[in-house]
Amino acid sequence: MSPRHYAAQIAALPTKAERQAALEQVPEEWRDLVKTHVRIAWHHPSAHKKQASR
């Protein structure tokens, strides 16, 4: 699984606690990169549109 795939799965989780727990499951060498991908996805304007439509 690629870092972006991990990030996509983590960003889709509904709670911060679930996202943090999932991040701990990511291989250590990719954890910082995945965390950065999740932050970018979370703060991207389109992320809020997707959440509002749920």
The full 3-state SS of 29-42, as one line of letters, equals HHHHHHHHHHHHHH
Percent of the chain with pLDDT over 90: 72
Reported as a single tens digit per residue, the pLDDT across 14-49 is 999 999 999 999 999 999 999 999 999 888 777 655
Residue 45 structural domain: 3-52
Predicted local distance difference test score (pLDDT) of residue 53:
54
Question: What pLDDT does 51 receive?
Answer: 53
pLDDT computed for residue 34 by the predictor: 96
- In the chain, the number of structural domains is 1
Q: What is the pTM of this model?
A: 0.75
Tokens 């509002």 belong to residue:
52
Q: What are φ and ψ of residue 15, in 5° steps?
A: -120, 155
